[in-house]
Chains A and B, each alone.
Chain A
Amino acid sequence: MAIHRHDNHKSANAFMQWVDDRFPATKVWNEHLAEYWAAKNFNFWYYFGSLAILVLVIQLLTGIFLTMHYKPDAQLAFASVEYIMRDVPYGWLVRYLHSTGASMFFVVVYLHMFRGVIYGSHREPRELVWLIGCVIFVALMAEAFMGYLLPWGNMSYWGAQVIISLFDVIPYFGPILTEWIRGDFVISDATLNRFFAFHVILLPLILVALVFLHLVALHHVGSNNPDGIDIFENLDENGKPVDGVPFFPHIVIKDLIGVCGFFIVYLGIVFFWPDLGGIFLEKDNFAPANPLQTPPDIVPLWYFTPFYSILRASTETLLMFFAWSSVAIAVLAALFTKVDLKYKIGFIIVGAIAWFVFMNSSGKAWGVILMGSAIVCFFLLPWLDRSPVKSIRYRSWPFKVALALFLVAFFILGYLGMNAPTPVKTVMAQVCTCIYFAFFILMPWFTSIGQTKPEPERVTYDAH
């Protein structure tokens, strides 16, 4: 029987030759590891991609062991978690690894996204890598939200109650939709069962598939680097990038340092402070779900709080501010732009419509729209960013100022979302919400002004 040998590949030994004739093992190994070239100047920020995969694997493995003892039943769920914590040998460890792992997943993913923003990894030709990553972020949020219902603590119950009821604001379909999501008129056993199914089967499958696509797209275009320049523009006589190192072994071994550092932080929390003072495990969730007893402050876990703050910041006052701002912007545009009269009239009409819409809609509906938009903004980043350079090292000062403001606003929103609102805190959240959206809306402008520094020919690398 003749075997058609692809690309006349010579394998290391007879066994690998046999395999390679039937499965592209060596080819895949080379293309994605041994001959996948990554820039040699990867820094601290480049640990978080591989760490995100590591956390995904940890969550899948610990999740499987939790599933062996957990009971998705409103009567039994809470007790089964305590059974895991007390009676299952090392069940407490598996459970803490999973609960801390969920928070660490978001820590790693937020830092991974931030790396993308500062080094321009969302820019051409990596737009699809970024977009798939954004979908992973959304899937991860869904996974975390559904997982949080499973312990069936009181915060699980009321958190899910609040978030699901958000869909009520959708005109006409809202109430039907929420009932369909819950499978009941209230959060109940039916909700718990379907969230369990989504959490342990559907979303993990989606996440793994998306991570695969994320890597396929990344390996098609190649990794970015802290200088934001293309390492394939400088090739040696063998066609390898002079500033590149193979992913295996160089980057893999470097990533091991990141893995050790990550485990020191992660296991440090697991073994010494697993609830992180109420941030990773909320104290109200140590009481079983009670539909008759609302916790004093219903707050989501920390990784949702920036978005939750934006939701709560949407009051009638904020809408009024939006309404009059639209009018002001329209008038200014009509007065100071050099366009035809018909466009100027158009600006005024659009401003008036915006004023009317903001003045005549509810704060709750806009809260949901703003919260959704806050996430959608990330998807648009590749097209909002107009800077001629990718890396923050060579960007103009307006971008750095805007990014710093955005970061501060994001952290303040996150902090405010963990606490009960007060009049002062609501105003702070509204200011930060405006900064949050201004960062994205004004990005085409502030990325195109100011003097950028010239990008280097070769990556910046100091061997010692």
Chain B
Amino acid sequence: MKKITILLMSLTASLTLSSAAMAAGGGNEVKDKVYINMSDKAALQNGAKLFMNYCLACHSAQYSRYERVAEDLDIPLYQLKDNLMFTTEKPGDLMKTTMPAEDAKEWFGVAPPDLSLVSRVRKPDWIYTYLRAFYQDESTPSGWNNSLFANVAMPHAMYELQGVQRLVKSGVDVHGGDGHGEGIQLAEGQKLVGDAIFELQHPGKMSPAEFDKAIADLTAFLAYLGEPAQLKRKTIGVYTLGFLIILLLLCMMLKKEYWRDVH
């Protein structure tokens, strides 16, 4: 019986972990890892600033409210009103774009998707890679293309920050060599994003390192936006589990007392 219990437990553990890994990874896309720290309020505030300035013109976050974002990220209301609210006057409003969906469809071919939950559908690593993988491509209507999402309708919204990239090579075998892509030889001024090598043609307002940091902040903000409750979820969880462990010990003592006379 013990053997079956052990078999059952090890099967469950291994299958849960491997299928969780499958579900989380998925596809053959090569993505860069992004480290997100939900308690880094400065990074989230910076991400919010970038989001309001560069994303919200076309994309909505229609399930999220300005006021809630300000509250969660410790942004004073006057700063929110003066610097971050471009689509409405009321802090309690939902974050909707002012661009009419019909116009957007005509201009881009598709209406820009809502971004409230993009971090839960696409996962942060994908977003972090995608936003850094735009390059100039004369063959597309917008003049831009993306190495992670080929022929995407979206133009490079942040090129003034990043500058203009040229694709040197895509589909690089990053898993070859030592398995981490560090064996790939990059020439001076080249950069590996996902499985593509880029070269900066015209520098932007930010250095490549600054831009990576900015996109990491924006990704963190989108991760927050996907589930605002996560800021306090884990804190409540720690107290709850602490309480339960104490309760478990008390119940075990109680059981021992009640079962004292059972032989």
A267 near B20 with CB under 8 A, answer: no
Chain A residue at minimum C-beta to C-beta distance from B16: A279
> In the bound complex, how far is the Cα of B22 from the Cα of A419, in angstroms?
8
Contact size range, A = 35 or more
B7 at the interface (CB under 8 A from A): yes
Which of these binds chain B: A80-88, A332-340, A448-456?
Answer: A80-88
For the A-B complex, the count of residue pairs with Cβ-Cβ distances under 8 Å equals 137
Known: A79-B63, A287-B117, A392-B1. A408 touches B11 (CB 8 A): yes
B4 CB-CB contact with A under 8 Å: yes
Q: Report Cα–Cα, A83/B236, bound state, in Å.
A: 21
Q: A85 contacts B4, CB within 8 Å?
A: no
Contact residue among B1, B15, B64, B241 (Cβ-Cβ distance under 8 Å from A264): B241
A407 to B6, alpha carbons, bound, how many Å?
12
Contact A419 B19 (CB under 8 A): yes
Instruction: Select which of A79, A254, A407 is within 8 A of B8 by beta carbon.
Output: A407
Q: Is B254 an interface residue (CB 8 A)?
A: yes
Which residues A397-415 have CB closer than 8 A to chain B? 400, 403-404, 407-408, 411, 414-415
Tell whether B247 is near chain A: CB-to-CB under 8 Å: yes
Is there a chain A Cβ closer than 8 Å to B170's Cβ?
no
State the majority secondary structure of interface residues on A. Answer: helix
Can you name the residue of chain A whose Cβ is closest to the Cβ of B259? A250
Contact A264 B245 (CB under 8 A): yes
**Which of B136-144, B148-156, B225-233 forms part of the interface with chain A?**
B225-233
Which residue of A has the minimal Cβ distance to B225?
Answer: A86
List the one stretch of A121-129, A200-208, A213-221, A269-277 in contact with chain B.
Answer: A269-277
Contact A253–B255 (Cβ < 8 Å)? yes
Are A283 and B120 in contact, CB atoms less than 8 angstroms apart? yes
| Cα–Cα distance between A400 and B4 once the two chains are bound (Å) | 8
CA distance A264 to B229 in the complex (A): 20
Task: Please tell me if the beta carbons of B259 and A82 are within 8 angstroms of each other in the complex.
Answer: no
Whether A12 sits at the interface, judged by CB under 8 Å, is no
- Report if A415-B18 is in contact (Cβ < 8 Å); known contacts: A260-B244, A260-B251, A286-B226: yes
Report the minimal beta-carbon distance from B65 to chain A, rounded to whole angstroms: 7
Residues of B within 8 A of A274 (CB): 233
B20 touches A278 (CB 8 A): yes
On chain B, the number of residues with a Cβ less than 8 Å from chain A's Cβ atoms is 53
- Which chain B positions have C-beta within 8 A of A418? 19, 22-23
The verdict on A284 contacting B121 (CB below 8 Å), with A83-B63, A249-B258 known, is yes
* Closest Cβ neighbor of A249 among chain B residues: B258
User: How far apart are the CA atoms of A257 and B254 in the complex, in Å?
Assistant: 9
Q: Is A245 an interface residue (CB 8 A)?
A: yes
B83 to chain A, nearest CB (A): 23
Q: Which residues of the partner chain B approach A411 to less than 8 Å between Cβ atoms?
A: 11-12, 15
Contact of A68 with B by CB under 8 A: no
Task: Give the residues from 149 to 192 in chain B that come closer than 8 angstroms, CB to CB, to chain A.
Answer: none
- Residues on A lying within 8 angstroms of B by beta carbon are 40, 44, 79, 82-83, 85-87, 92-93, 114, 118, 245, 249-250, 253-254, 256-257, 259-261, 263-264, 267-268, 270-272, 274-279, 282-284, 286-287, 296, 302, 392-393, 400, 403-404, 407-408, 411, 414-415, 418-419, 461, 463
* 18 additional contacts (CB under 8 A) given A283-B23, A393-B1, A407-B4: A40-B262, A82-B63, A86-B63, A86-B65, A118-B1, A250-B259, A259-B251, A271-B240, A271-B241, A276-B16, A277-B21, A279-B16, A279-B20, A284-B121, A286-B226, A415-B18, A418-B22, A461-B262
Interchain residue pairs with CB less than 8 A apart (22): A85-B63, A87-B68, A92-B229, A93-B229, A245-B259, A250-B258, A250-B262, A253-B254, A268-B241, A271-B234, A277-B19, A278-B20, A283-B23, A283-B123, A286-B121, A286-B226, A392-B1, A411-B11, A418-B23, A419-B22, A463-B262, A463-B263
